[in-house]
Amino acid sequence: MKSLLLTFVSMLTVVTSQSFPTELWPITSDMVTTSQNVINTLLPSSGVTMDSSMVWQRVAYITDTFGPRLSGSQGLENALDYIRDTARNVDGLTVTEMPTLVPKWVRGNEWGILLSPRVKKLHMVGLGMTANTSGVNITAPVFVVSGYDDLMANCSKAAGNILVINTPFTEYGITVSIRVNAGNWGLQCGAKAVLIRTVGPYSMQNPHTGATNASSPIPSAAISLEDASQLARMQARGQTPIVSIYMESWWYPPSPSRNLLIDLVGTERPNEYVLVSGHGDSWDIAEGAMDDLGGAVSSWEAVRTLKNLGVKPKRTIRAVVWVNEENGSAGGLQYLNDYNSTGVLANHSFVFETDSGAFYPMGIGLSCSCGPNGCQNGGCGFTQAQLTLIGNTLLSSIGTGNVSAGGGGTDIDPSCQTGVPCIGLNVIDPRLTPGLNNPCLVDSMNSWYLPPYNPSTMYDSNYFWFHHSEADTMERLDPTQLNTVAASLAIWAYSVAQLPDLLPRDAPAPPTSPSNNNGSPSSTAGPVAGGVIGGIILLAGLFFGYKWFGKRTSTFSMSNTTSTSPSKFSGSSTSSAAYSSLSTRLHEDNNGGV
């Protein structure tokens, strides 16, 4: 039924989008002025510190005060109350609560102990929504496999044992399938329980939780990379490790919660929207500063900043704090449910999510013409060209204007299926940028580097060291990066809110550039989408980003750290030899290097 509805909506979208502009819409002087004012406000030449960044202050307050925010928890509801009241009463923004029922799974006590060949506490965390151990210890020899194929080849050996799946991290999208399927794979082979090597490229004994398939009746947990490797070594040399695990958890009826919609209401077309967002919930063991309160509060800050600048957007600029991204996507599905049938979603110019860490942004990834079966390649013609023009003209000065193909987010994906242009923020691994969250800065580096960014090599991003673990704390965020995310979101949102019409959903690239590009300081993008132009803009963005970083490094606040000094940031020239060394360490070491 749902897919039929979506198909109908997609067809309707195609029908209504046949009339499209024949040339790009110009960048107006108003967009230029507002963009510069946003940059001057959020990224002043005096620099950004923890004290001066409202995003940093609010993320720190919320994580410090309310803690982890798993769906169904009081911590989440308290945090949402605070955001609602502050946005409404302090910021003067329009806040709507969208009621959403969320699943409620609660973790209790849990532990894992190695009993033989010696006694040791395992670094273990139950996977999200896993079965429990029914109030008893499960004690058994472990049987270690390297992955699914190894398990299927040796399925009978897992029977009656605790199965350990020791698969090294490659890409999150690939390795995460082990976390999702662990319980059912163990069940298939008769295991009593399953322990997986934590889904992350690097570990300091911090296991990561995350959603698993709740249908399996046998419990599953993650153990640290170090513990999994150790059990594998023991088995390889002929030892038979014996492990005991105990896990409590409870399911409750679905719990009332809400998405928060924080609006700067449009003056000419208040019922048309541009949407930026992040999710407010987190896993129960994580304070979730990085995943994803930084993204949610940066979105909020984008709207707050525009309001404080006194601008009057034509369309409503909306920041959404989604709920239940981590274990159900109820918030994203609620938005689709409430706004698709009423036609509101058809009045969205784009939907945008930041959920890869609010690190230094290098641009956006765009998907278009999406339906229930995914997105159609080549459907982004006009929209990609228009956004490329905006990025090149208004965002290149801070190095964040690149537009590439392919983007989205768990919370916006349901809405994307109706065909609305769908955007994810692309960010740079913190190890490659000068921030307080760069763990490499305590290394022997005497300068920093902004190397050629290649997304295909970034799957072992620093992000996955921390996410869904106790290590997802404020130390993962940097105030300059947070403010740059907020500035980028504000500029993307405002400039799209001012366009003559909604971004087309299925239009080819126009044959000509805008004929009246008044106010544009550097209009060179033209109508060509992606490809060579995108690459040029990326390089330009990185160049300007480099220049921008260089300008600000001398004003970096180091007030919270004693392990680095401003001189560590002050290198203004790159060293290809040093970068080559860094790159090798980062990308060839399967454990994530440094």
Q: Where does this chain bind Zn ion (CB under 5 A)?
A: 291-292, 355
Q: Shortest distance, CB of residue 283 to Zn ion, whole angstroms?
A: 9
Per the structure block, which two tokens stand in for 93? 């923004």
Phi, psi of 416 (to 5 degrees): -60, -30
The least distance separating Zn ion from the CB of residue 262, rounded to whole angstroms, comes to 18
Residue with the CB atom nearest Zn ion in the bound state: 292
- Which of 133, 415 has the CB closer to Zn ion? 415
* Under 8 Å between Cβ of 374 and 3: no
State the DSSP string of 461-487: -THHHHTTSTT-SGGG--HHHHHHHHH
Q: Which residue's CB is nearer to Zn ion, number 227 or number 291?
A: 291
User: What tokens appear for 477 in the block?
Assistant: 């965020």
Q: Which is nearer to Zn ion, 332 or 510 (CB)?
A: 332
Shortest Å distance, C-beta 129 to Zn ion: 16
- State whether residue 299 is helix, strand or coil: helix
Smallest gap, in angstroms, from Cβ of residue 468 to Zn ion? 9
The number of angstroms, rounded, from the C-alpha of 199 to the middle of its chain's C-alpha atoms is: 16
Work out how close the CB of 409 gets to Zn ion at its nearest, in angstroms, rounded to a whole number.
8
Helices (H) and strands (E) in the chain, counts: 17, 16
Shortest Å distance, C-beta 412 to Zn ion: 12
**Coil, strand, or helix at residue 74?**
helix
CB of 149 to Zn ion, least distance (A): 30
Backbone angles phi, psi at 516, to 5 degrees: -130, 70
Q: Which is nearer to Zn ion, 165 or 321 (CB)?
A: 321
| Cα gap 30→515, rounded to integer Å | 17
Residue 353 makes CB contacts below 8 A (sequence gap 6+) with 276, 277, 278, 295, 322, 408, 409, 410, 411, 412, 423, 424, 425
b/e per residue 406-431 (b: at least 16 CB within 10 A): ebbbbbbbbbbbbbbbbbbbbbbbbb
Closest Cα partner for 505 from 391, 322, 351, 314? 351
Q: Between 283 and 360, whose beta carbon lies closer to Zn ion?
A: 283
Among 77, 110, 325, 326, the one annotated catalytic: 325
Q: Is residue 292 reached through a cis peptide bond, with omega within 30 degrees of 0 on the bond before it?
A: yes
d(CA 558, CA 170): 34
Q: Which is nearer to Zn ion, 241 or 409 (CB)?
A: 409
Half-sphere exposure of 472 (CA within 13 A, CB side): 32
| Cβ nearer to Zn ion, comparing 133 with 327 | 327
Identify any residues that bridge with 247 across adjacent strands, giving them in sequence order: 110
Residue closer to Zn ion (CB basis): 301 or 355: 355
- Tell me, yes or no, if 268 is annotated catalytic: no
State in angstroms the smallest separation of the CB of 541 from Zn ion. Answer: 25
In degrees and rounded to multiples of 5, residue 151 shows phi and psi of -65, -45
Structure-block tokens of residue 13: 């979208």
Which residues are part of the catalytic machinery?
325
